[in-house]
Each structure stands twice: as structure tokens, then as C-alpha cells.
Amino acid sequence: MNKQKIAIILAIESSCDDSAASIISADQKTGRIRVLSNIISSQIAIHKKYGGVVPEIAAREHVLNLLPVINEALIKAKVLPKNLTAIAITKGPGLITSLIAGAETARALAFAWKKPLIEVNHIEGHIYANFINPTAPIKFPAVILTVSGGHTILLVMEKSGKIKIIGETRDDAAGEAYDKAAKMMGLGYPGGSIVSGLAAEYGKKTTNLKLPRPMLNSPDFDFSFSGLKTALLYELKKDPNWKNRIPEYCSDYQQAIIDVLIHKTLKAALKFKAKTTMLTGGVSANNELRAQMAEAVKTRTKNINFVIPAKDYTTDNAAMIATAAFYKLRKNKLISFKRLRVNASLELK
Ligand code: KG4
Ligand code: ZN
């Protein structure tokens, strides 16, 4: 194990369209994490007009944004490069050109500052967002639902770092389902916060819409969201008045996603005798999902802790990458700048 009592980690995250840098300090003995800075430069305004992320533009923006974001993270944290224990970097999965922009920045800084690197899987980063000031004690086994723009994965963590995937989406990710619905209704990008805002506007009123809850009763822990998107398309085509009912459509569409996510997560928590259930990823920023999952764990299970990241750590950020890196540092998983390689389709192991 690295000998310093307090580890100070700079993390860089650039797997999609956010250029992010964060500094954390972590107590090697107690595992307590303090986020000293968490800086994000969002490219949403640029990609919005194309209705989604344009990889070449994202990479070019990362090249412009990353160094200023890293500088700001150091200044805000009042940390000098010489005091860093290591530099963490997202290895994948993600957009290859975006990953390269981050990795080459990390490589250059590691060389210039003579610091070791720690490679982090982006999904693992999302999972470890829950280890930053956890909302309840994390006991194992834990069942973890990761819901982002690119992934919908249900997994069991038997102990810290030991992960087993038990279910995945067979087509679209939950965040993608939000984004595609928003695009279909001409609401803009990214769809998650827009659709959930309109659903909130509709409120708790009942609706006559009956969008499907795909794979709700399938015997496995898998998901499917592309059929839901198609069902929405057919409903909109049938309804000449749909433009006046958008909040209602958003409400039922969102509830269809939430129903399936909660049902499968609770089923897994019971089957694997989980002591903790966690939610992570961009879609876990969703207020309804957060509230309904918390309520379901409380009322439909016994003695299972529910842990969810603070909103700042749900969508892509570098504090989560730094936190995952800290657990790798404890296992001495440090590499030299020469060995750093990105992998756009990196698997979770
Ligand atoms: O984790 P993330 O920032 O990036 C990926 O790793 O994909 O997740 C982005 C996704 C997008 O699909 C976005 O629409 C969704 O998270 N999202 C939300 C909300 N905020 C972001 N989905 C539902 N409700 C939200 N409030
Ligand atoms: Zn992400």
C-alpha cells in the first residue's frame, strides 16, 4: 500500500461531452473521502443544436477545456502538483476521441510532474460516486443499479471491488430512452432533465395512457427500452392532440422506465440477500426515481440500506473517478505514463 496517511488524487474525466477534473483527499486508514474540488465544463450548449453529442467536436472541445479545468481544480483545492499522490484517468468505456484527449493530457502531466497514473473504468467511477459521504452505511453484498446515457446495468458487489453483473439492457440504456423520447417530441437535448421536468409539471394526476413496462415480468434481471420508445412513437402518431398533452406523455413514459428499474432492482436485492441497494449514473439525478426507489426499499424490503450519490456526483464528473482510483491506490494499482491505454469498449470486471 502507498504509505502516505492522506492520499491526494487528481482525476480527469472526458469519456463523453463533459471535461471534468477533481481533487480529493482520502484517509488511507478510515477510507474517508473529502472532495476538495469538482470542476465540470459542459459542452451541452454546443451539441444541443445537433440533437446529440458529435464525437469530433467533443474531442476538440476537450483539448481546449481540459487544462483550464484541471488548473481550476488545483486552485480551488489549494493543492500544488507536487503534493499529488497520483493522477487518475478514465480508461473507458466512452467515445474514443474524447478518451484520448483526456488520456494524453493525463500522460503529459504524469510525465512532467513525475506522478503515477491510475486507470479507472467509467462505470466503476459511477459506482464509487456512492462512496463519497454515503447516505447510509455501505454493507455487503450490495445490489447496484447503474443507469446512464450509455448503460443500464444491474450488478452485485460482494465486497469492495468485487463486482458481478447480473443484468443489462438488451438495447437502449435508460438515459438513452429519455434522450430519444425528448428528440421524438422535439423537446431538445439532453432529454433526461427535460422529460422529468415536464413529467413533474403533470404531477401525480392519473393518466389514461398505457405505455408498456418492457420485461417487467421476465425471469431475468435484464432490461429493454427500445420497445417503449417505439410504443411512444405509435401513441403520438395516433393522437392528433399529442402536442397539447406532452407533460402527460412524459409522465407515463418516465413512470414506465421507473417501474421496471425499481421492480428489477428490488427483485435482485431480495434474491442476492443484499444489505445495501445503490443507484448510480446520470439517470439517478432523477427526482422521481430517487424518491420512489427510496420508498420502495423502505417499504418493500427489510433492513436494506439505500445509498444514492449527491446530485453533483450522479451525471459525469471527476470526483467519482478520483474516488474509484483511491480504492485502486489501496491495492497499489499504479502505472507509469508509458503504460496508459484507453479502451472505448472497456468491460466492467
Ligand atoms: O452518467 P451520464 O452523465 O453520462 C453517461 O455516462 O452516459 O448520464 C447522462 C444521461 C443522459 O441520457 C441524460 O438524459 C440522463 O443521464 N439524465 C437524466 C436526468 N439527468 C440526466 N435522466 C433522467 N432524469 C434526469 N434528471
Ligand atoms: Zn457516465
Of residues 2 and 191, the one with the higher pLDDT is: 191
Contact call for residues 88 and 321 (beta carbons, < 8 A)? yes
C-alpha cell at 257: 422506465
Least reliable range by pLDDT among 43-57, 120-134, 182-196, 266-280: 43-57
Contact call for residues 23 and 10 (beta carbons, < 8 A)? yes
- Choosing from 16, 43, 98, 148 the residue with most ligand 1 atoms within 8 A of its CB, the one to mutate for a pocket test is 148
CA quadruple 172, 175, 179, 185: dihedral sign:
positive
Residue 57 has pLDDT above 80, yes or no: yes
Query: E strands within 56-141?
Result: 86-92, 117-121
Q: Which pLDDT score is estimated for 2?
A: 55
Q: Which pLDDT score is estimated for 235?
A: 97
| Residue 282 alpha carbon to ligand 1 centre in Å | 3
Q: Which pLDDT score is estimated for 49?
A: 85
pLDDT digits (tens, 9 = 90+) for 122-162: 999 999 999 999 999 999 999 999 999 999 999 999 988 89
Please state, as a whole number, how many other Cβ atoms lie within 10 Å of the Cβ of residue 241: 6
Structure confidence at residue 50 as a pLDDT band (50, 70, 90) = confident
| Residue 150 alpha carbon to ligand 2 centre in Å | 7
**Residue range 200-210: average pLDDT?**
92
Q: What is the mean pLDDT of the chain?
A: 96
Please state, as a whole number, how many other Cβ atoms lie within 10 Å of the Cβ of residue 52: 16
Give the ligand whose atoms come closest to the C-alpha of residue 283.
Answer: 1
Please report where in the chains the cell 463519497 appears, as a residue.
Answer: 132
**Residue range 263-270: average pLDDT?**
98
Pairwise CA distance, residues 223 & 246, whole Å: 25
316 lines ligand 1 (CB under 6 A): yes
Nearest atom, ligand 1, residue 287 CA? 26
Bridge partner list, 12: 21, 89
**Residue range 263-287: average pLDDT?**
98
150 lines ligand 1 (CB under 6 A): yes
Residue 45 has pLDDT above 60, yes or no: yes
Provide the phi-psi class of 74: left if phi over 0, else alpha when psi is between -120 and 50, else beta: alpha
Q: Which pLDDT score is estimated for 209?
A: 94
Residues of the chain with pLDDT > 70, as a percent, come to 99
**Residue range 278-307: average pLDDT?**
97
| Residue 149 alpha carbon to ligand 2 centre in Å | 7
Contact call for residues 349 and 179 (beta carbons, < 8 A)? no
Q: Which pLDDT score is estimated for 3?
A: 65
| Tally of residues, the chain | 349
pLDDT digits (tens, 9 = 90+) for 1-41: 456 799 999 999 999 989 999 999 999 999 999 999 999 99
pTM, two decimals, is 0.95
Contact call for residues 155 and 163 (beta carbons, < 8 A)? yes
- Coil/strand/helix, residue 34: strand
